[in-house]
């Protein structure tokens, strides 16, 4: 009895060691598999970029996720078409480069519309380079992190239950598309190497009309003054929220969303982070902004770090005088498919 005990203990120890080794093996294999997958993705993206035969007319809308990408897509759609809303989803008119096009080998050159408009969250180094126009949208990182949490709660469960838990991951770059700091500084540092227009969410929010004119100028588009009320109304938060199904992510992730109650066009506010984030997380994030985002001018630095912009004000200006209902139409045209 006395002698058997060490043998039993040794046996149990060996068993635990074996299962630990199997678990470690499994974890190492999983990590290798993830790294290989990521490497494959990067190589595919880079090869796609090398094969891209760009045109000056091509328009890229590029952002870090949750920075107002869809808003920019809608503005460009309104500027480049009659704005009829006769699409099932905004991705039909400005497809998602790395999710919808690259994996299917669909070339930008093959898109039927002129100008060809694509949306992407790729980093400056990964984006296909050409003579076209690149609209880079940025938003203060605190609102990006909060907005990303609501998106993740719905479509990417497992990345953090509370806003603050998720925000910690986001600030450390542990979310899809990685570090917000790297994305923003990569694009801002290299913007003169391509034909880039930088647009902030905060400026769209403060003065949509001026921002729309700036985007139109950059795209070489002359806006018919009669079309401006329609453009402003359809790019308003109220209108886009009313047509949430045309903008939401469900098409990308056909699985039922984990938190279906949150609309994609959710809050549309500058400074919403104040109601959500721990003061300590905010000051750590702003210290990281101090260290990493000082090179891009005081105004940009203030916006990015959440120290500027129209804090707390509603995102969209009130409808123009003479009033259009949120879903209304100037000139009584119809909303086909809306």
- By the criterion CB under 6 A, which residues form the site for ligand A3P? 63, 65-71, 143, 147, 150, 235-237, 240, 265-268, 272, 315-316
State how far the alpha carbon of 318 is from the alpha carbons of 207, 209, 323, 328, in Å.
11, 12, 9, 14
CB of 157 to ligand A3P, least distance (A): 17
Give least dist CB 78 to ligand A3P, A: 11
Least separation in angstroms between CB 66 and ligand A3P: 4
User: What is the token pair recorded at 195?
Assistant: 């034909």
Spatial contact of 281 and 167, defined as CB atoms under 8 Å apart: yes
CB of 9 to ligand A3P, least distance (A): 56
Q: Are 107 and 170 in contact (CB under 8 A)?
A: no
List helix spans (H) across the chain: 4-51, 69-80, 141-155, 163-171, 180-190, 201-206, 208-218, 228-234, 237-242, 279-292, 298-304
Residue 160 backbone phi and psi in degrees, to 5: 130, 125
Residue among 192 and 261 whose Cβ is closer to ligand A3P:
261
Residues 217, 38: Cα–Cα separation, whole Å: 38
Query: What distance lies between CA 239 and its chain's CA centroid?
Result: 20
Report, in Å, the least distance between residue 42 CB and ligand A3P: 22
CB 256 within 8 A of CB 232: no
∠ CA 128-133-135, nearest 5°, is 90
Least gap, CB of 265 to ligand A3P (angstroms): 5
| Residue 329 CA neighbour count, 13 Å, CB half | 11
- 71 vs 181, beta carbon nearer ligand A3P: 71
Q: Is the CB of 76 or the CB of 315 nearer to ligand A3P?
A: 315
Nearer to ligand A3P, 63 or 305 (CB): 63
CB of 71 or CB of 77, closer to ligand A3P: 71
Q: Which is nearer to ligand A3P, 107 or 214 (CB)?
A: 214
Q: Which residue has its beta carbon closest to ligand A3P? A: 268
Q: CB 28 → ligand A3P: shortest distance, Å?
A: 35
Euclidean distance between CA atoms 61 and 325, whole angstroms: 28
Smaller CB distance to ligand A3P: residue 49 or 137?
A: 137
**Cβ closer to ligand A3P: 211 or 240?**
240
Q: Among 66, 200, 241, 74, which Cα is nearest to 143's?
A: 66
**Smallest distance, ligand A3P to C-beta of residue 268, A:** 3
DSSP states along 233-293 = HHTSHHHHHHTGGGTSGGGTS-SPPSSTTS-SS----SSGGGGTS-HHHHHHHHHHHHHHS
């Amino acid at each position: 009895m006395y002698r058997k005990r060490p043998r039993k203990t040794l046996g149990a120890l060996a068993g635990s060691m074996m299962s630990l080794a199997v678990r470690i093996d499994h974890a190492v294999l999983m990590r290798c598999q993830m790294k290989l997958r990521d490497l494959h993705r990067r190589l595919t993206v880079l090869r796609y970029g090398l094969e891209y035969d760009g045109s000056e007319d091509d328009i890229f809308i590029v952002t870090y996720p949750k920075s107002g990408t869809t808003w920019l897509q809608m503005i460009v759609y309104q500027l480049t078409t009659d704005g009829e809303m006769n699409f099932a989803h905004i991705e039909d008119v400005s497809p998602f480069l790395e999710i919808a096009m690259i994996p299917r080998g669909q070339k930008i050159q093959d898109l039927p519309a002129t100008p060809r408009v694509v949306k992407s969250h790729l980093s400056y180094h990964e984006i296909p380079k050409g003579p076209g126009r690149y609209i880079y949208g940025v938003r203060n990182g605190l609102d990006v992190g909060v907005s990303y949490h609501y998106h993740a709660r719905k479509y990417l469960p497992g990345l953090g239950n509370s806003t603050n838990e998720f925000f910690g991951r986001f600030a450390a770059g542990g979310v899809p598309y990685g570090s917000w700091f790297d994305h923003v500084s990569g694009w801002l540092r290299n913007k003169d190497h391509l034909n880039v227009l930088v647009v902030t969410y905060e400026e769209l929010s403060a003065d949509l009309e001026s921002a729309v004119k700036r985007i139109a100028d950059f795209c070489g588009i002359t806006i018919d003054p009669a079309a401006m009320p329609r453009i402003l109304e359809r790019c308003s938060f109220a209108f886009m929220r009313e047509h949430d199904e045309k903008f939401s992510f469900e098409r990308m992730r056909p699985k039922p969303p984990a938190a279906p109650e949150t609309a994609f066009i959710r809050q549309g506010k500058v400074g919403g982070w104040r109601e959500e984030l721990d003061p300590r997380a905010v000051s750590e994030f702003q210290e990281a902004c101090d260290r990493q985002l000082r090179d891009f001018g005081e105004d940009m630095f203030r916006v990015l770090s959440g120290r500027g912009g129209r804090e707390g004000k509603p995102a969209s200006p009130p409808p123009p005088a003479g009033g259009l209902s949120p879903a209304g139409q100037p000139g009584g045209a119809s909303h086909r498919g809306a």
